Structure formats: structure tokens, C-alpha cells
Chain A
Amino acid sequence: MSDDLLKVEGLKAYYQMNYFGVRREVRAVDDITMSIRRNEIYGIAGESSSGKTSFIKVLAAAIRPPMRIVDGSVKYEFKGLAVDVATATPEQIEAMRWKHLSYIMQGSMSVLNPIRRIGRTFEDFAARPLGLRGAAFRQRVIGHLERLKLPADVLNAYPHELSGGMRQRVTIGLATVCHPEFIIADEPTTALDVVVQKEVLGLIREIQQDMGSSVVFVTHDMSVHANMTDRVGIIYAGRLVEEGPTRQMFFAPKHPYTAHLVASLPRIGDTAQRPALEGRPPNLAEPPAGCRFHPRCPLAVDKCKTEVPPLVDVANDHRSACWRSADVQPLVAPQAPQAARGVMA
């Protein structure tokens, strides 16, 4: 068994539509090559509509028209099951679900069945994979919910009787109770207060470590990436533009977009805006030529407008797709200690 649980190669996944006779193609995932190792938490960040959800939908084999894999492969090597999502049969995908792979969709608190009590939903999804029934099953679930700071009562509740953050924790509970080998989570903690969020992140990491499993975690919250992940990958306009060990991504980014992203995090005490990125996110139906970041990049040179920079090694275990990666400077030291912050005085 290799060190990689998942290998993605040259993946292209587009939304191909016909609007009133006009063909439209949104190239949401455009030539991504990367891998996820066993026993790691891999964070994915990038601006709104850059293709993060589209990418992990492919990883989770949740591909629906008009999305189509146009090229490339997505190969898993689970314990006792090898699957290429690009060519897998529905049966293979079914076999992979829950036991091997679970997927927490963005906004997934809305996918809970509205007319089924939470307890029933747990039975539907988890009883069989766990091989437990009756009181033993209930005990297991209650113990699990407790770690998500949810009282046992939620099992008797219907989804609408729970707050947004409680529903979000229920879906995390569903996705983790069977301790799968691979967990894919898309913005799973957006509705949680910072106290509970920390608990929930801690739980996910504990499960990951207990099982030596792997987690792909998508969030806009860079401070979550900083504290939760082993590696971070940055997606810009459908492409992976940089990936590396978390600490290096924050302190020594090698792509101008990453440098911007890790410095953009607003902090308590800010009374002025941090420098924002000029310009608008690119249109994925007609992405800019060359480096897709060039219209907004402070370091752009002529070459960037025409030639696509390949994702290449720039340091140990660290890759970047930028012609000028050697010239990238961190925008700010990631965080000044609290006492030094002027506004607090």
C-alpha cells in the first residue's frame, strides 16, 4: 500500500450547459493534480466560486449533470478497495460510501430529512455500517453526540426544531460516527460559535488520528486551516495554485494569491479594513489566459499574460504555480501578539 490514499491526476470537471441554445461551459475544475496521504488533514481554501465545492464533489463521487469529468483520474486506494471515480460503476461508488468515505456537503444542514426524527436518520445511515442495534446503537450515538456538545434529546427532535449550528453538528455526527477512512467536509463549521467550533474540530481530528484516516477540509476561515490542517492547498479559478505544509503556507507562501489570503483574515481589534484584492474573481466560463491570477496580481509580468505557470516544487513538500515564486514576500507577519496590537490599548 502506498502512502497516498487518493491520487488525482490531470482532473478536469466542467459544467456543460445549454442556455436557450447557447452552449456554456463553466470550467470549475481545470487540470488539478494532487494527492491526499493517509493519516493527514488537508485543507482547501480559495475565494468564493473558485471551484472548491466542485472539486470535492468529484472526490466524493457526487457528480451530477451538468457536471462531467472531462479528463483525468481520481484514484482511491482504500483498505481492500481500489476505485477510480472517473470510471467507477454505481455499485463501486455505493460500496465506497459511509464505510470508506463520507462527505459533509456545504450547507448540508439542509439535507436532513425534514419529516424524520434525527434518531431515525442515524439509524438509516449508521446502524448497518456499525453493525449495532437497539440500545447498544443508541448508546454509541449518544456518546458521539455528547462530544459534539449535543444533548441526547436531539435524537427525538425533527430538524426544524434545532438551531442552524445544532443541525450542522448533527450532520458532522452522521459523517463521523462510523469512523470512515476518508472524510470530506465542505464548510462544516460555518454555523458554530467559536467555542463549539473548537470542540468540533478537535473531535474530527481525534477521530482522524485514532483511525489514521484522512480528512479534506474546505473552509474560508484561514484560522481554522492554521490550527487544524497538516497541509493546505489553495485553489484559484479552478486550479490548484499552491500547496504545502500548513506552517510554510502561512509564514513563507510562494504564490502571491496565498500571500494575500493568509494576510486578509480580519482580527478582533481591527478598526480599518485590511488591503483587499483589486478586481473581481475571474469568470470560469472565460478564464484569463496565461496565469489566471495575472489581472489582479501585484507581481505580474508580461510572460504571465500568455504562459500558464506549471505547479512545480519550490521547497520541501511545497509546490507553487507562479513564474515569480521566488519573489513572493509574506504580506504581514501572520499575527502580532495580542498585547502589541495598538487598538487594544
Chain B
Amino acid sequence: MTTADTRSPAIADLTADVFVAGGGPAATWAALAAAEAGADVVLADKGYCGTSGATAAGGTGVWYVPPHPAEREKAKASREALGGYLADRRWMDRVLDQTYANVNELAGVGRYPFPIGADGAQIRRGVQGPEYMRRMRIRVQRAGVRILDHSPVLELLADASGAVAGVAGIRRQLDTGYRVRAGAVVLATGGCAFLSSALGTNVDTGDGALFAAEAGAELSGMEFSNAYAIAPAFTSVTKTAYYSYATFFHADGTVLDGAGSTKGRSVIARTLMAEGAVLCQIDRASEEVQRQMRAGQPNFFLPFDRLGIDPFTQKFPVTLLAEGTVRGTGGIRIAGDDCSTSVPGLYAAGDAATRELICGGFTGGGSHNAAWAMSSGSWAGAAAARHATALGATARRREIRPLGEAGLRPAGTPGDPGQYREVVAAVQEQVLPYEKNYLRHGERLRPALDSLDATWTALRAGLRGSGAERFRAREAAAMAAHARWMYHSALARTETRGMHKRADFPEQDPAQHHRLLTGGLDTVWVAPESASAVEVAS
């Protein structure tokens, strides 16, 4: 493969105080915080830090609420019921404070050009993805962080005690391996959208959750993993905000009653299943609103302008694309205020971590994910730096061993390197269909899980990648693991709460007012938080 001279030369063995996996908002805020705490930091992204991940492509509203008691109270109260009362007000306060500080820093030192409102003050409630993330890259570089682009992490390294001591990965454009010994590692690899092509998410295959589980960490809230977003049919653009100005129709042009962007999304799903098509027209936007939409989110219009559709006057077909845990809330369990996990030396931030702490079991709409990414990133980065400092030079002298298993070190006879494609297809078949994942029912979840468990058993035995694309096998394994944690948890939660809606248990059950933890790889367990883990049959 040819390479460009802008890339740094081949690097095989590095040492750092802090290693950050990922290159989105969570990773860049983590790298900044660690560097500002005096740590020597290496950040590696699967893609390019600045364009990779859900924020860079999409842009986000941010939970930016000035510290006025009444406004803060309203902000906290607004989501508690939707999230099934699984959030924690103390964490909301922390995230609101940290997000307020980070966004102000982005406006100040970061010189992000927030628009000016009628009152002459900047409006800081949202960011355009490309602009935000190119500025974060520049800041991270100026802070002295070494960035490895196109360098997916493949696995964690641990010392004899099980503490995380570094990572191994590959530089895909150079087809060479790399290894970083580090005092602490931050996982900021995003959520998992199962390669659905929802905007910017195909790099988000849940890798960090797999790494964490291999190191012995738990996950939380994995039943809250069935976010689906509206997009013009056959496109990737899952930008949903402006559909609040839309009317939805049957294919024959009659109005589809009850269909809407949030509450009525299940109506859209049912109609897509029953009738094969749903049409949409953004017919409730005045000319002024139309103009504001173009200024606010230009990427919303890319499909329309390029396909020659006027979305305000013409009906166009829509679909729902899975966004899994990207706009769900499940992820690696956070064990402390500093975003530590239960494994020493391992920290988690952004979509890789659970967001239940601030929004319980629901997030679609509300800017919490963006706020969480920057806040948790800052905390994880600072704490990782402290951890590394406390270890001092001993960190570099530790005996290290690799932790990667599925997709990397098959337990049986290695299969064909192209096998990852079949695994991806098998997982997608169980997690993308609306009738399995979105409109959940025990009768459909159970066989889907059986199929996923069988996929896991087979991949564990033989899946292995090769060459520069060998991280594909790890992605496939991560997706399969993710799907199994999701459905084990979804079956265990025999009620409807947050975004997890069970047709066979349509009510919220006060006896299940707790978070669900899950974990394990060959044998998956699920347990209520704070109770001891019990194994469930897989």
C-alpha cells in the first residue's frame, strides 16, 4: 500500500504515561486533560482524529445550561421520567458544571466560532462536527500529545496483577503493528452502531467494551441499546431534529397518524415493516425556519440537494437506521467519580461508557451524550494522569501480557481471514431488524440471542484476521459481544423502561427500578446493580 508523507514514520514500541484509545470528543478531551496534568500522552484513533466518530460527521446539540438554579433544575427534571428514573442527580450536577466549563473553554482557548444571538451573546448550545473536531485535534497537538491516526487498538495489555498496562494495535496504512506501554489507559472508542451506516458511526463497533470485558470490567445498561434514527431512505444522514417540523405519510399519500420523530418513531417502524415505505415532508416549517435549518445544520440537506428533492414541498421516503449504543445509553460501567472502571489503570469515557448516570435509559434528543463525552473525557484523562504519576517509573518495568481473545487468538483451528464478513452479517441479522431490537418481545429476543450465542461460539473457535485489515475480525467479535450483552440484558429486564420497550411487558415495574450490570464473554451474566453477580444460562 502506498503511504502519504504527512504520516509519522513507522513506530513499533512506545511508552507513555497515558494512552487514549479513540479520537472523538471523549478521547480528545481526555488527552487534553491528561496532558494538562503533566502526563506524556499517546492517542490512537482507528480513523483520523478530527473526522472520525459520530460527532465529527454529525455535529451535536450540547447540554449547556448556565448555572442558574431554576434553569439547572428544569434541565435535570426534564429527562428523569423518560430515562425511567435511573439517572443520578449528583452526576447530572457534575456533568452540567463540567460541560459548562468545557464549552466555555472551547469558545475561549479553542476559539470555536459560536454564533452570536440577538442579545449579542454567543449561543453555545450546539457545535458543528467538522469545526469542533478539527479544533480539538489542533488543541490536542498543541498540548504535545502524540497522535497515531489510522491506528486501531486491537487489545489491552495487563501486568501480572491484572492492572492495565498498555495496548497493542496496528497502523493500517503502514501494515505494521504497534505497542504502547502506559501507566493508564482511557477507552474512548465510542458506542456500537453495528455498521448500519448511520452518520459517522461505522468506526463505532464497540471495540472498547470488548477490550474492557477481556480485562474483567463490567457493563451497565446494555438493554438501553436500541436507538433508531430517521434518515432519508438509502442514505446515511440520521439527523433527526428537524423532523419535528415534518408530517409522515403512507405510500399512498395519506397522513400516517401518530408518526413522529420521537414518540411516534415506533409507528414509523411498524409501518415500514407492514407497508414497506413511509413518506415524509417537512411541511410545517415557515420560510424563516427553513432558512434557519440550512444555517443550523447544512449536512441535513446534503441528501436532498444531491438527489434533487425539495423536502419542504415534496414527499420523500424515509427509513430508520440503528444507532445501537451510540444514541443508546449502555456501556462500560463507571466505578468512580473519576471515570475509573473496576480494573486498575483502566478508565472509560464518552459513548464507550454508560450514560445512565445522567440520563438513565433514554437519550435520543437532549444533548446529554455530547455533554457526557466532554465531561467524562476530562475526568478520565485527569485521573489516568494521576494514576500514571502514582505508579512512576515502575509502570515501565512491569511484565506485560496481551489480553485479546476473540477474533485475535482463536481457541480452535483458525478459519478463513474473510470470515469476519459472515460474522458481521450474522450479527446484523439479529440486531438491525425493527421487530427484534426496536419492538422487543421475549419470543423474538430469545431465538435472536440463541443465534448470537452460536455465532459467538463459532467465532471464538476460529475467527482471526490478517494483514492491515486484521482489526476487522476484532470489530466483528466486538459487535457479537455487544449484541449478546444487549439481548441478555433485554431479556432480564422484564418490563418497559426508558428506550427498552417490551411488548410482552408493557408496564414499568417498580420492583425493577435498578440498573442492570452485565459482562462475561463465553458465559454472559446479568445482575442488578449492587446485588452480587449471578450467572444466567446462555
User: Are A and B interaction partners?
Assistant: no
